Structures are given as C-alpha cells and as structure tokens.
Amino acid sequence: EAKRLAALQKRRELKAAGIDMAKVKMKKKKGIDYSAEIPFHHKAPLGFYTQDEEQSIVQKTELLNVGVDKLEGERRDDVLDKQQKADARKNRKRKKENLPLDVVLNNKRNDPEQVVKR
C-alpha cells in the first residue's frame, strides 16, 4: 500500500510540474517523440520584466518584399553604362547644335603637338 501511495503522489507531483506520465509510458525507451514535444526545449522562467519592447522590435522588423537589387544598391557596371549613354547623348546634341565647336574640340584632342612624349 505504501508503494502504491508513493507512486500516486509522484505521478501527481510530476503532473503538477507539467510532466504527464501517460505520455511517458507511451514513449519508446530510446529516442524522443518529436510529435509530442520539442526536443531540448526549456520554458523560460517567469521574470520581473515585460516583453513589450521585444514584441515591438519584432513587429518593426517584419520582412517586406525586398529584392537583392534594393539591398545592394546599383551595380557599378550599370552606373557606368548610364554615364556612357549620357555622354553619348551630350556629344550628339553638341554636334547638332554647334558643329564648329565640336570640330575644334576634336582637333585639340587629336593634335600631335599636345601629346606628351614619354
């Protein structure tokens, strides 16, 4: 009778602590029942601090549909392509509007006297 009462008391104490003995009996002797519990999970003890700050941080950092392009910024080769296209547009516009000035600038660039000898 004493053994039975001790076992009954033990089951009640374990149940009060959150360990259900009915689940333990159904478990295999080796391994963890992954469908019944989370392995190696320990609940955090109740503390003196609130979690309001932590919850607000989690809400602020929700991920949006952000592409890699937005995170990394513009690629260098794309920027160079845009600059080259803009320069080409400027040159074409200058040729149409002021052809003599364009001829003078090209002559300065191609003048053999201006080339520095090494």
Q: What are residue 114's phi and psi, to 5 degrees?
A: -80, -20
Q: What is the tens place of the pLDDT at every residue in 82-109?
A: 999 999 999 888 888 888 888 888 888 8
3-state DSSP of 15-70: HHCCCCHHHHHHCCCCCCCCCCCCCCCCCCCCCCCCCHHHHHHHHHCCCCCCCHHH
Q: What is the pTM of this model?
A: 0.33
Residue 50 CA to residue 48 CA, distance in Å, equals 7
Residue 25 CA to residue 20 CA, distance in Å, equals 9
